[in-house]
Structure 1
Amino acid sequence: MHSPIAHESAHAPDSAYAAHVPDSARSAHPSRPVHQAVTPAGSTLPGLVGNTPVLRVSHPLTPPGRGFWAKLEGFNPGGIKDRPGLHMVERARTRGELLPGCRIVESTSGTLGLGLALAGTVHGHPVTLVTDPGLEPSMARLLAAHGATVDTVPEPHPVGGWQQARRDRVAELLAEHPGSWCPDQYGNPDNVAAYTPLALELAAQLGHIDVLVCSVGTGGHSAGISRVLRQLYPGLRLVGVDTVGSTIFGQPARSRLMRGLGSSIYPRNVAYENFSEVHWVSPAESVWACRKLATSHYATGGWSVGAVALVAGWLARTLPRDTRIVAVFPDGPQRYLETVYDDTYCARHGLLLEGAPATDPDVVHSPDEKEVGRWTRCTTVQDPLRAESEAR
């Protein structure tokens, strides 16, 4: 006697098989129905973005038995900024600000450039990306391989540094190309809104979050993720991670090795009111954390990832054991093989620490207390422009 279940399983049509069966095989199996091919979920270019995994990170970044969760945005095709790259372009097209076939022009240190190149491919727009000599040669080649035009400014702005020089060049290019459009990632609210799906992914993956740790550059992902998560978890603490030499949180602007976080201007997307504290991290400390992640967890990334991991590890060591901490890792290690993971480069810049960084950060009580040169923490967070205005 045959089992009905076994019988059904043995003869049920296999749609994946049927869609690829050659005509000769179909004629040999006339009873097998022919199905039209289906497009698997996530097989379009925009479908490759999002739903990135989380990884539990513990020893040696934390003591055994303690740890934090890392959101691995390097699993997107180009990194975390694929999300705002696509979203800003789609919203601009919907509003009629970006017309079909018109050029996209933007300033970038690299990762957003990949996101805009992706959006340009999806929606049929030429893309010009303005960068500076600090961009890794491999990233410049990758951007060009994806069809973007890379325009490099030769000199920094005397006050606003490389970022202001890039923005000035963007203004020139917009004037040269009638109908062109700039996303203005530093002040575009669509940059912030693009991270709503990421926040909802974290909520679905982890159920509850107490502390969110984000690097800060344009301010988009820290503002966008925390805005949503704070509605779900009102007690959420947001910890910002910046680089030494960055002016975002009120330190003096200096030349910076680390790219992807920090700024020599004040991006208006930074939600200062959302932060519970800020940490500044040096390049050497970030390199140490990146390399420890690589050897211990087979998951790592660039400057932002190392800086965020160092701070999240400290939080996991010092907060109560049951605190659920999430760190956002914006990208993977590929673009940093010539910097973070290159011993010659690191030795030339004095980035190879003989031992681990200090167990705890230095502490300052206000961002202007002193200029910091190593990992430092401050629990007073304010908008430097507002503070200057109030002091007048």
Structure 2
Amino acid sequence: MSSSINAMTPLVGQTPLCRIGAPFAPSGRGFWAKLEGANPGGLKDRAALHIVERARARGDLRPGATIVESTSGTFGLGLALAGITYGHPVTVVTDPGMEAIIQTLLGSYGVRVEMVTRAHPDGGWQQARLDRVAQLLAAEPGSYCPGQYDNPDNVEAYSGLADELHRHLGRVDVLVCSVGTGGHSAGVSRRLRRRDPALRLVGVDAVGSAIFGQPARSRLMRGLGSSIHPRNVDHDAFDEVHWVAPHEAVWASRTLAQTHYATGGWSVGAVSVVAAWCARTAPPGTRVVAIFPDGPARYYTTVFDDAYCAEHRLLDRPPNDEPDEIKEPGEAEVTRWTRMVMR
């Protein structure tokens, strides 16, 4: 087992930074993108490995016990890596929105994939998945659920990412993060603020997500947003939040591909819309950093598929130059890029 651990854990972390400029920002402006897609499975490799390590150290996860978790994709890939590394079978519960390539990859890594077929009437697909996780845990005594939405180890896992940013950039003035489970936005900002309490944290949510007080609606975008309220989301840490619509994320992801090669899917596109605006409007010299959670590969049937995007009216609809503004979540139900200042 030790040789497996030594061979695999160095694959995670020390991901590159890329400077994103025109056409997202004018000459002399831009933002830094932390390319977490360079990890084997993406950003959540960090969290999956750390959560499993801590659970084993505490005795919550016994040697050889099964790991059972809900995922839309990226965390499942991280758990596959953790399961192979530490010798645990893994079962993930997902829904029909998971891309076929992710299902196939998980199966090739030895992961058992459970598919729910009906959304929960209130909590949507996420609650339906969590209900199935509870059933599977009850059926297999000794199995373990990482609980990525509520487990504080998920937050702690991203301290290393913050240290990498500090080591390479020195100072971060504005941090832009997509928000789903809330793990990396809380973990990275908390660590960076130990060095610079003035750091501004900007959250990026999906139109139709309930995380910041909007009504939960059906969502095309995967990997950010939620129909439930994860406890790991540190609402008090955010200076502002932006909601982004699918067509705006598609425009940004495709434009990134054409101009910078460094690109990704829904979360990367949404984060880029907001980080670019921060770079354009902040005082000169402001250092803006965005976390890109993954790369483009899994989105070849959605974000980068012309037929899919045409069917859902996602093509050739760039975001406005400025976001709409609301003062509190109940003021209006947002349908496109919208900003709300928290403090």
* TM exceeding 0.5: yes
Q: How does 1:38-57 map to 2 (within 5 A)?
A: 44-57=7-20
User: Which of residues 295, 303, 311 in structure 2 aligns to 1:348?
Assistant: 311
Q: Which of 224, 245, 254 matches 1:282?
A: 245
Counterpart for residue 320 of structure 2: 358
Quote how far apart the aligned CAs of 1:297 are: 0.5
Structure 1 residues 144 and 331: alpha-carbon distance in aligned structure 2, compared to 1, 3 A threshold? same
Within 5 A, what are the aligned runs for 1:181-220? 181-220=144-183
Give distance in 2, aligned partners of 1:83 and 1:307: 22
Counterpart Cα distance in 2 of 1:234 and 1:206 = 16
Q: Distance in 2 between the 1:281 and 1:142 partners?
A: 29
| CA shift digits 1:126-153 (9 cap, x unpaired) | 0000000011111111111111111000
SS of 2:242's equivalent in the other structure is strand
Q: Is residue 320 from structure 1 mapped to residue 283 from structure 2 by the alignment? A: yes
Distance 1:185 1:360 in 2: 34
1:157-172 to 2 correspondences below 5 Å: 157-172=120-135
Deviation at 1:43, TM superposition (A): 7.3
Match of 2:267 in 1: 304
Q: Contact 2:44–2:75 (CA<8 Å) still a contact in 1? A: yes
Q: Is the 8 A contact 2:273 2:319 kept in 1?
A: no
Contact kept, 8 Å, 1:367 with 1:380, in 2: the verdict is no
- Supply the AA of the counterpart residue of 1:200: D
Distance in 1 of aligned mates of 2:140 and 2:285: 55
- Among all aligned residue pairs of Structure 1 and Structure 2, give the percentage whose two residues are the same amino acid: 65
CA distance in 2, matches of 1:140, 1:61: 33
CA distance in 2, matches of 1:43, 1:58: 38
- CA deviations 1:190-239 (Å, max 9, x no partner) are 00000000000000010111000000000000000000001111100000
Moved over 4 A (4+): none
Q: 8 Å contact 1:107–1:170 — kept in the other structure?
A: yes
Confirm or deny: 8 A CA contact 1:260 1:304 kept in the other structure. Answer: yes
Q: Which residue of structure 2 lines up, in the alignment, with residue 174 of structure 1?
A: 137
Q: Which amino acid aligns with 2:228?
A: I
1:114 aligns with 2:114: no
SS in 2 for 1:205: helix
Distance 2:151 2:46 in 1: 14
Residues of 1 paired with 2:299 and 2:57: CA distance? 36
Aligned partners of 1:78 and 1:233: how far apart in 2? Answer: 30
Amino acid at match of 2:212: F
Q: SS of the residue aligned with 1:280?
A: strand
Corresponding position of 2:334: 372
1:143 matched to which residue of 2?
106
Shift of residue 380, structure 1, vs aligned partner: 2.8
Q: Confirm whether residue 154 of structure 1 aligns to residue 117 of structure 2.
A: yes
Alignment partners' CA distance in 2, 1:126 and 1:359? 48
Q: Which has the larger radius of gyration?
A: 1
The one-letter amino acid of 2:325's match is: V
CA distance in 1, matches of 2:102, 2:191: 32
Q: Could you tell me which residue of structure 2 aligns to residue 261 of structure 1? A: 224
Q: Tell me if 1:293 matches 2:256.
A: yes
Q: Secondary structure at the match of 2:34?
A: strand
Query: What is the one-letter code of the residue matched to 1:363?
Result: E
- 1:368 offset after TM fit, Å? 1.1
Equivalent residue for 2:30, pick from 67, 70, 80: 67
Q: CA deviation at 1:83?
A: 0.3
RMSD (Å), alpha carbons: 1.1
Partner letter of residue 82 of structure 1?
D
User: Which residue of structure 1 lines up, in the alignment, with residue 198 of structure 2?
Assistant: 235
The secondary structure found in structure 1 opposite 2:269 is helix
Partner of 2:53: 90
SS of residue matched to 1:44? helix
Map of 1:23 onto structure 2: none
TM-score by length of 2: 0.98
Unmatched segments (≥5 aa) in structure 1 = 1-38, 382-392
Select the structure with the greater relative contact order (CA < 8 A; seq sep ≥ 6). 2
Render the CA deviation track for 1:278-328: whole Å, top value 9, x for unaligned.
000000000000001001001001100000001000011111120000000
Letter of the structure 2 residue corresponding to residue 365 of structure 1: K
When normalised by structure 1's length, the TM-score is 0.86
Q: What is the rounded CA distance, in whole Å, between the counterparts of 2:202 and 2:255 in structure 1?
A: 22
Q: Aligned partners of 2:77, 2:84: CA distance in 1, in Å? A: 11
| Per-residue deviation, residues 89-148 of structure 1 (Å, max 9, x unmatched) | 010000011001110000000000000000000001000000000111111111111111
Q: Distance in 2 between matches of 1:321 and 1:307?
A: 23
Shift of 1:353: 2.0
Q: Look up the SS of the partner of 1:368 in the other structure.
A: helix
